[in-house]
Amino acid sequence: MSLVLYGFPLSANTHRVRLLLSMLSIPYEERTVNLMTGEHHQPAFLALNPLAQVPVLVDGDRTLFDSQAILVYLAESRAAAQWWPGDAYERARVAQWLFVNANEINNGIGYARNHISFRIPGDPAIPLARAKAVLAVLDQRLSEHDWLELGRPTLADIACSTLVSVADEAGLDRGTWPAVQRWHQRLAALPGFVPMPRLKARQG
Ligand SMILES: N[C@@H](CCC(=O)N[C@@H](CS)C(=O)NCC(=O)O)C(=O)O
């Protein structure tokens, strides 16, 4: 079966799928959907995702949207139990963090980054407050644990790491959360790790 990831280079939601594909050494083709020119609103892409969002994963005749759902699908279909365990309680503990990413982290760091770095109109104050609150929770947890759950890297770490790694693009000083930084360094040392692409203006 051929695997195709529809994404955008600066999309954090695309990156976390790219990261898992790379860590699992799964061959795939990435096709860029140009969000800047509105390609995601064209009928061809809407047929893949009526929400007009990347990422979308096409696996043969199967089509999926939402990065969290795609992570789960890849880990389950490739029998990657290290990342997404078979035990119900363990799996739910990992799942907690997928939802933290989709809610607190995305509505915090993600929206603040949109306002500050992509200049999407809106007041960044509320997302910034949310971002600081969730980063404090992550920092507390990661000051006591190497990984978010189960004592090993799981989908929880993949899901939560992407936006956290570019928190400075949301106007936040990443040094404020040292345990989070050390955790990200541990993740970056794992085989197959690929970093989240940086906004050009902030490179170097
Ligand atoms: N819950 C979705 C969110 C996807 C999403 O918001 N993607 C952004 C790019 S990072 C997008 O396509 N935005 C286009 C738009 O909203 O116009 C996921 O986790 O994949």
Class of domain 88-188: mainly alpha
Q: What is the pLDDT of residues 5-45, one digit of tens each?
A: 999 999 999 999 999 999 999 999 999 999 999 999 999 99
What is the 143 CA–ligand 1 centroid distance (Å)? 30
Q: Is the pLDDT of residue 203 over 60?
A: no
What confidence score (pLDDT) does residue 201 get?
Answer: 53
Looking at the chain, list the stretches that DSSP marks H as alpha helix, in order from N- to C-terminal side: 12-23, 43-46, 67-77, 88-100, 111-116, 125-144, 155-164, 178-188
69 close to ligand 1 (CB < 6 Angstrom)? no
Mean pLDDT confidence for 47-64: 98
Give the pLDDT confidence of 126-185 residue by residue, as tens digits.
999 999 999 999 999 999 999 999 999 999 999 999 999 999 999 999 999 999 999 999
User: Does any ligand 1 atom lie closer than 6 A to the CB of residue 18?
Assistant: no
Q: Encode pLDDT of 85-97 as tens digits.
A: 999 999 999 999 9
pTM, to two decimals: 0.96
Looking at the predicted structure, is the pLDDT value of residue 204 above 70? no
Give the CA-trace dihedral at 161, 37, 66, 164, to 10 degrees. 10
Mutate to test the pocket of ligand 1, among 6, 8, 10, 13 (most ligand atoms within 8 A of CB): 13
Q: What is the predicted pLDDT for the residue at 48?
A: 98
- Kindly state if the Cβ of 162 falls inside 6 Å of ligand 1: no
Mean pLDDT across the stretch 191-196?
97
CATH 3.40.30.10 fits 3-77, yes or no: yes
Q: For atom 14 of ligand 1, which residue has the closest CA? A: 53
57-89 pLDDT tens trace: 999 999 999 999 999 999 999 988 899 999 999
pLDDT band at 1 (very low <50, low <70, confident <90, very high): low
- Ligand 1 within 6 A of 154 CB? no
- Cis bond leading into 55, ω under 30°? yes
The residue with tokens 């990661």 is 142
- Quick one: pLDDT at residue 80? 84
**Cα(30) to centroid(ligand 1), Å:** 16
Taking CA atoms only, the protein residue closest to ligand 1 atom 3 is 66
**Domain definitions of the chain by residue range:** 3-77, 88-188
Residue 135's closest CA among 173, 99, 189, 169? 173
pLDDT of residue 79: 84
Write out the two tokens for 25. 């050494």
